[in-house]
Amino acid sequence: MLSDEAITRIADELVEAGRTRTPVERLTARFPEMTVEDSYRVQNLWRQRSEENGRRLAGRKIGLTSRAMQMATGITEPDYGIIFDDMILENGCEVVWDRYTHPRVEVELAFKLGQDISGPGATIFDVLDATEYVVPALEILDSRVQMEGRTIVDTISDNAAMGAMVVGGNPVRPQDVDLRWVAAILYKNQVVEETGVGAGVLNHPAAGVYWLANKIAAHGDGLKAGEIILAGSFTRPMWVYQGDTVLADYGPMGTVTCRFV
């Protein structure tokens, strides 16, 4: 494990990298002994620094839950990060492209919780019971750590590459739709770039949510009513550039879109 001094230095570097949009050198290149536990220590301290600067926790994101994402990244286990309220954008918004570093877009479902979920031992039934509604979303990935050669340790330290999310479409109660068969078509500038179905996320989008509840229980934490949980992408990440328009069509669940300016 890294020393507390090293964890503090890394967290402060990442805060500054987010401010300047200048990624830091890959952490595992500088600290090859760094572990997954170290990376969550960095993420937790980064969260504290952000909250000290006035940011407010709004939810969590789960990443690397689908084979599509695992194949795209070479990383084979899920991770999680923090969603602050200033990361949640409205459907149809304009997104300032150069606010992010290496922005990419993924197609996901977001779970808005109406009840707390606590682990260990949380199940898919706990998630479905606790969910007020599920809504389409786009995740905008950001990178405060250099991307080439990065591992799950780098990604977790970088808040699981969370940049922002766009929420749209039609909210539905989880019992009113088969979430495994929710499908989406992802367009960039009116061209179909990706397609996918919800079952691509651990065989059921809710599976990542109970995985997260059980994972953070080990740290005395839990998922709270009112939080929004991004359940993981069922498409590969799509690069976006200034001037691009992105639209995800979820069929009966509606569409979610944004434009990068």
Torsion of CA 79, 123, 198, 88, to 10 degrees: -60
pLDDT, tens digit (0-9, with 9 covering 90-100), for 197-215: 999 999 999 999 999 999 9
pLDDT at 232 over 90: yes
End-to-end CA distance of the chain: 42
Please, which pLDDT band fits residue 78 given cuts at 50, 70 and 90?
A: confident
Rounded alpha-carbon distances, angstroms, from residue 230 to 129, 146, 213, 257: 17, 24, 13, 16
| Spatial CA neighbour of 51 closest among 96, 22, 82 | 82
pLDDT at 73 over 70: no
Please, which pLDDT band fits residue 72 given cuts at 50, 70 and 90?
A: low
